[in-house]
């Protein structure tokens, strides 16, 4: 991802995706204000005008404000300084929740909004290790940490502590923790809110608000069903995913009755989705991401529809390809002849059946950006 032009911008993304590191590398001389520091937060809370004094003292023309959602009132002063002083602001955050819900000044369209995602296979290049990605996900730290499993446990705990407890976003953190575990069993599945509510012993309305919350915190995504010009009866409810395969596995309880294949299968599907979302955002491809499922259970994991094309993508964990693995893709492509089909699987051979390509998972992830562009 490159820094666009010289205009101000918002840069959102989950914690740990490397927003501050990236900004520091592309804007090394900018004034950096970190609202996670208690002293900095205390200095600016109720005294937004001090932002101008800080900029003047540093003789800065570009100011980076980290975790701007912690102090939404600061945006009025940012807006004024852009208008009257011509200063440039780069405003990062791990949640747009407070900004959206409080009706904060979002700079009147004067700042572009970008999203930072975890790594992709194409970004890692030769360092990409498919088994490691399936097990630990794609957050930058898991690729350098001596103990990525422990890091992911700490990551989940950090979110519960800092984003939920400190911000008082839920009344009962223990109940919210149970909800996260229950939600992990819905990974890659059509979402049944009532079932999740029953699993964690919380009423449906509270569970719905928790799903909204983790989506606001960029921890999860609900993928809508594709129904455009439908030729058959289709599922209408969305599918649910935590945003990263490693984070999903850190949240997912595992006991003697849990199948490793089921957990790995959901992690692989998550890995593909997060790669699709990252490539789509990083290259401004403009796709809407959906899934497709008939009432009799035929399913295509991901459907990408946009100005650059129409793609149907199926994911299989198995290392052996069988033609029945592309049955749903064939059905979809029969309904939508404009679509290109892609099966990503755990084997090593390439196949092509008309408009359907069968590609090994690791290679497919590495070339997703080129294939979709």
Q: How confident is the model at residue 342 (pLDDT cuts 50, 70, 90)?
A: very high
DSSP state for residue 34 in the 8-state scheme:
E
Percent of the chain with pLDDT over 90: 73
pLDDT score for 105: 59
Distance CA 236, CA 232 (A): 12
Mean pLDDT of 27-38: 92
Mean pLDDT of 186-207: 94
Same domain, 25 and 139: no
pLDDT score for 286: 95
192: pLDDT strictly greater than 80: yes
Q: 83-93, pLDDT tens digit by residue?
A: 999 999 999 98
Higher pLDDT, 258 or 340: 340
Same domain, 20 and 158: no
Residues 6+ apart with CB under 8 A from 327: 298
Q: 229-288, pLDDT tens digit by residue?
A: 888 999 999 999 999 999 999 999 887 767 777 899 999 999 999 999 999 999 999 999
Distance CA 282, CA 292 (A): 25
Block residue for tokens 């009344």:
171
Which of 81, 115, 149 is a domain's end point?
115
DSSP state for residue 299 in the 8-state scheme:
E
Which of 93, 115, 137 is a domain's end point?
115
Q: Residue 268's closest CA among 211, 318, 332, 223?
A: 318
SS3 223: strand
Q: What is the DSSP string of 125-142?
A: GGG--HHHHHHH-S-GGG
Same domain, 28 and 89: yes
pLDDT score for 172: 81
Residue 180 within any structural domain of the chain? yes
Q: List the structure tokens of 59.
A: 């003789």
Same domain, 138 and 282: yes
DSSP state for residue 339 in the 8-state scheme:
P
Using DSSP bridges, classify how beta strands 288-293 and 309-315 pair: parallel, antiparallel or unpaired.
unpaired
Same domain, 137 and 97: no
Distance set, CA 314 to CA 222, 280, 293, 301, 303 (Å): 18, 17, 12, 5, 9
pLDDT score for 147: 97
Distance CA 292, CA 223 (A): 10
Half-sphere exposure of 363 (CA within 13 A, CB side): 12
Distance CA 143, CA 314 (A): 27
Distance CA 208, CA 211 (A): 5
Using DSSP bridges, classify how beta strands 299-306 and 309-315 pair: parallel, antiparallel or unpaired.
antiparallel
Same domain, 108 and 196: no
Distance CA 233, CA 13 (A): 36
Distance CA 302, CA 263 (A): 19
Residue 3 within any structural domain of the chain? no
Neighbours of 193 (CB within 10 A): 17
Same domain, 96 and 190: no
Of 107-116, 142-151, 233-242, 342-351, least confident by mean pLDDT is 107-116
Distance CA 104, CA 95 (A): 13
State which residues form the domain around 348.
121-372
Residue 39 within any structural domain of the chain? yes
Which of 84, 115, 146 is a domain's end point?
115
Residue 1 within any structural domain of the chain? no
pLDDT score for 99: 74
Q: Which of 133-142, 151-160, 208-217 has the highest mean pLDDT?
A: 133-142
Distance CA 120, CA 352 (A): 25
Q: How confident is the model at residue 100 (pLDDT cuts 50, 70, 90)?
A: low
Residue 295 within any structural domain of the chain? yes
pLDDT score for 7: 84
Q: 318-328, pLDDT tens digit by residue?
A: 999 999 999 99
Residue 246 within any structural domain of the chain? yes
Q: How confident is the model at residue 213 (pLDDT cuts 50, 70, 90)?
A: confident
Neighbours of 19 (CB within 10 A): 23
Q: How confident is the model at residue 175 (pLDDT cuts 50, 70, 90)?
A: confident
Of 98-102, 170-174, 222-226, least confident by mean pLDDT is 98-102
306: pLDDT strictly greater than 70: yes
Same domain, 156 and 286: yes
Neighbours of 275 (CB within 10 A): 25
Same domain, 215 and 332: yes
pLDDT score for 73: 85
Same domain, 301 and 232: yes
Report the predicted TM-score, pTM, of the whole model to 2 decimal places: 0.92
Higher pLDDT, 30 or 167: 30
Q: How confident is the model at residue 106 (pLDDT cuts 50, 70, 90)?
A: low
Same domain, 238 and 352: yes
By the 8 A CB rule, do 22 and 2 touch? no
First vs last C-alpha separation in the chain? 15
SS3 22: helix
pLDDT score for 31: 96
Distance CA 291, CA 251 (A): 24
The tally of domains found in the chain comes to 2
Distance set, CA 11 to CA 62, 181, 321 (Å): 15, 29, 41
Of 99-113, 234-248, 359-373, least confident by mean pLDDT is 99-113
pLDDT score for 364: 97
pLDDT score for 104: 59
Distance CA 305, CA 315 (A): 18
Residue 147 within any structural domain of the chain? yes
Same domain, 217 and 78: no
Residue 2 within any structural domain of the chain? no
Q: Which of 13-27, 118-132, 174-188 has the highest mean pLDDT?
A: 118-132
β-strand partners of 114? 11
CATH number for 71: 3.40.50.300
Higher pLDDT, 164 or 252: 252
SS3 content of the chain, % helix, strand, coil (to 5): 45, 20, 35
């Amino acid at each position: 991802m490159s820094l666009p032009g010289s205009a101000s911008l918002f840069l959102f993304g989950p914690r740990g995706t490397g927003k501050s590191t990236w900004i520091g590398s592309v804007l090394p001389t900018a004034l950096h204000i970190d609202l996670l520091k208690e002293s900095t937060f205390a200095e600016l809370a109720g005294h937004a005008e001090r932002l101008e004094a800080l900029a003047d003292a540093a003789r800065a023309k570009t100011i980076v404000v980290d975790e701007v959602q912690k102090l939404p009132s600061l945006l009025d002063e940012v807006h004024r300084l852009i208008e009257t002083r011509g200063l440039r602001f780069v405003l990062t955050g791990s949640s747009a929740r407070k900004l959206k819900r409080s009706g904060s000044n979002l700079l009147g369209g004067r700042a572009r909004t970008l999203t930072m995602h975890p790594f992709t296979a194409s970004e890692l290049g030769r360092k990409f290790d498919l088994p490691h990605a399936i097990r630990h996900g794609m957050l930058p730290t898991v690729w350098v940490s001596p103990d990525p499993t422990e890091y992911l446990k700490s990551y989940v705990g950090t979110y519960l502590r800092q984003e939920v407890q400190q911000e008082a976003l839920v009344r009962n953190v223990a109940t919210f923790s149970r909800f996260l575990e229950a939600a992990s069993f819905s990974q890659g599945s059509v979402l049944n809110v009532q079932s999740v509510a029953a699993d964690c012993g919380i009423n449906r309305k509270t569970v719905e608000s928790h799903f909204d919350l983790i989506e606001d915190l960029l921890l999860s995504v609900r993928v809508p069903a594709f129904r455009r010009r439908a030729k058959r009866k289709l599922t209408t409810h969305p599918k649910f995913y935590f945003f990263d395969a490693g984070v999903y596995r850190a949240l997912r309880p595992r006991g003697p009755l849990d199948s490793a294949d089921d957990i790995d299968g959901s992690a692989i599907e998550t890995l593909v989705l997060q790669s699709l979302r990252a490539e789509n955002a990083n290259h401004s491809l403009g796709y809407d991401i959906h899934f497709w499922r008939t009432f009799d259970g035929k399913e295509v994991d991901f459907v990408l529809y946009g100005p650059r094309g129409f793609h149907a993508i199926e994911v299989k964990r198995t290392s052996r390809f069988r033609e029945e693995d592309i049955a749903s893709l064939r059905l979809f492509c029969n309904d939508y002849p404009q679509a290109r089909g892609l099966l990503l699987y755990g084997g090593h051979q390439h196949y092509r059946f008309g408009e359907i390509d069968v590609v090994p998972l690791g290679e497919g992830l590495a070339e997703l950006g080129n294939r979709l562009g």
